[in-house]
Amino acid sequence: MGEKRIRVGVVGASGYGGMDLIRLLSLHPHVELTYVAGNHEESADIPEVYPFLPAAAGLRLEKYDPERCRERCEMVFVALPSGASGAVAAELWRAGLRVVDLSGDLRLPPDVYERWYQKPAADPGAIEAAVYGLTEWARAELRDARLVANPGCYPTGALLALLPAVRAGLAKRGHPVVIDAKSGVSGAGRHAAVDRLYGELQENFYPYKVGRHQHVPEIAGQLDVPAEGGLLFTAQLLPAVRGIYSTCYVWLRDGVSEADVRGVYAEAYADEPFIALAPPGRVPELKHVRGSNRCHIGLFVDQAAGVLQVFSVIDNLVKGAAGQAVQNFNVMYGFGETEGLTVQPLYP
């Protein structure tokens, strides 16, 4: 592709995911960031409102204007809240732009979306056209995609952990897949709420949306199991800013050993630049991936119980949102998949 630079916009830059998009895209060698719109009616120079993004100097945060966006951009990332994001993504897609939507609006069939999100569904044609962009498992579809539904943060961590085992047929029929997932508070968005105040969350820990979390049908659909009866998912809130730790349980078919499991995962992720499998006896930690587009996975088979435990960690704002969106962009345009995503994890 030579030195070609794509004129790119970000709509929804007032949220944490949008901010991380600016951080990553402003340093991408094949991107010219030409348009940045906020979630509301903001109007200010980026360094003025986000002094931690010096590479975005010269850009201005402005109110979303579809005509201005179309004039300035070839491709747009939309990172608005669910219920608003899908409509904007569909509008820009129908106007001829390539679009990656980071909300849940284009990931589910309309009837399923309305049941679990309790909001009107987006444009059915856009939903049908959107490619589900779990990059490692969707490259063939992404190369020609004009509209991409970026996976949710919890689904990304859980699906990367589970798909090798499930698609290889290692799971025992008749047993639900169990996912115990814990997220940093940034996954809840950038708005005020009592339960996310420092005094409420610090030294605290609790589950939320038990039995009704909107990511349940998304995960179940990709695993090809029923959302009710085939999957038990619990989301929990950590007193941390970033990261998702998913501990997943899969009942194995009789005779499946840990060596069998490790062979399946090693083959599935052998050439993946962002996925690392922990050696036997080691498990991943949140700080091993913080700030990066990486996913670390650990495996353990309890032979007595016949259960596989899979541990995965991601940064919810990077691999679970902005980073995966940029990774999808790279595949869509034929760039090297790691372009703009070589940032190393922050430790400690």
Which of the residues 69, 73, 153, 248 is marked catalytic? 153
**Polymer length in residues for the chain:** 348
Q: Are 239 and 203 in contact (CB under 8 A)?
A: yes
With 0-12 CB in 10 A as exposed, 13-18 as middle and 19+ as buried, what is 261? buried
With 0-12 CB in 10 A as exposed, 13-18 as middle and 19+ as buried, what is 48? exposed
Cα–Cα distance for residue pair 31/98, rounded to 1 Å:
14
153 is catalytic: yes
Q: Are 269 and 179 in contact (CB under 8 A)?
A: no
Is the peptide bond preceding residue 284 cis, with omega within 30 degrees of 0? no
Cα–Cα distance for residue pair 39/61, rounded to 1 Å:
10
Q: Which residues are catalytic?
A: 153
